[in-house]
Amino acid sequence: MSMGTRAKQALRRAAQWERNRLGISAIMPDCVQRPLRRMIRKRLLTEGRRFLPADRAVDFFQTLQRNGTSYIVIRWFESLPDCADGDIDFLVADDGLPDFEALLDRTPSGIPCDIYAASGVPGFSYGGIPYYPPELARRILERRVILGNGVSAPCPQDHFLSLAYHCVYRMGPDSGLPTAYRRVRPVSVPRHDYRGTLAALAAGLGLPVPIDMESLDQFLAEEGWRPPVPVLEQLAADNLWIHYHFGAAGRYRSTAEAHIDIGAP
C-alpha cells in the first residue's frame, strides 16, 4: 500500500473518530461544515489522476475503441470527446489500466482524468476503497454501450443506478437531493442538476422512484446496489446523510431510531 493511500485512510479514520467520539463537527454551523467536508473529500480523491491534452481527446477515445479497452466514462459523457464538463471520471477493467497509463500524462496539463480500477487496486481507488463494489463494477463494464460519439458509457439502467449511488453514498448533501433529515441540509445549488438528471433517467426507464435520498437508497438496496456495512462505515466519515440514516457504524437503523433524527430541528 502506498504512502498516499495510507495517509488518506488515516484521514478518513480520524474524521470518523471525531464524529463518533467528539461530535464537534456536527454542531458546527453549515458555513463551516460544508467547506470542511469538501476539503476532506478532495483529500480522499483517487491516486489515479492523469491528464488528457484537449487536442488529443478525439484520438484518445478512438484508440481506446480500436484497442477494445474495457472502460466507461462514469457520467457527463454526452458532450465528449469535443467538450469535457470539468474532469472526466473513468471506470476501467484492471487489464485496461495499461492503455490508460500509455495514453494519459501525469503532468498537470489539460483535462484532469480520474481513473478508478474495477477491483480498486492500490493507486486506482477512492480513498483506499473501490469506487463501486467490484462485482457491480464488473457488471457495469460487461453491460457498457458505445455511444455515437465513440465514447463507452454505462447502459441506461446502470447509468441511473451508478449516478444514484454516487449521489446518495458518495456526495450526500453535496448532491442537493432532498432528505427527510432536518439536520442534513442539502446544498441549494449543486455543481450539476443531479435531481433533474436522475428524474429524467428514471422517466426514460419507466421507474416510479421518488428522487430523494431515502427513496433512492431503498431502491438501490432492492437492486443489490447498497454498499456493504464496512464500506458504509468508511463513507460515513464524510457523508452526513449516511451518519444519520445508518449510524456512524454503517448499520441500518430502525424507523424508530431514525425518527429521532428526522424530527430533530
3-state secondary structure of 215: helix
Q: What whole-number distance in Å separates Cα of residue 60 and Cα of residue 71? A: 13
Neighbours of 121 (CB within 10 A): 14
Q: Which residues contact 196 (CB under 8 A, 6 or more apart)?
A: none
C-alpha cell at 43: 483529500
Q: Which residues contact 3 (CB under 8 A, 6 or more apart)?
A: none
Positive/negative CA dihedral, 219, 223, 229, 230? negative
Average pLDDT, the chain: 84
Q: Which residues of the chain have pLDDT under 50?
A: 1-5, 8-9, 16, 19-21, 41-44, 46, 250, 254-260, 264-265
3-state secondary structure of 126: strand
C-beta of residue 241 within 8 angstroms of C-beta of residue 172: yes
Q: What whole-number distance in Å separates Cα of residue 151 and Cα of residue 72? A: 8
- pTM comes to 0.79
- pLDDT by residue (tens digit) across 187-232? 999 999 999 999 999 999 999 999 999 999 999 999 999 999 989 9
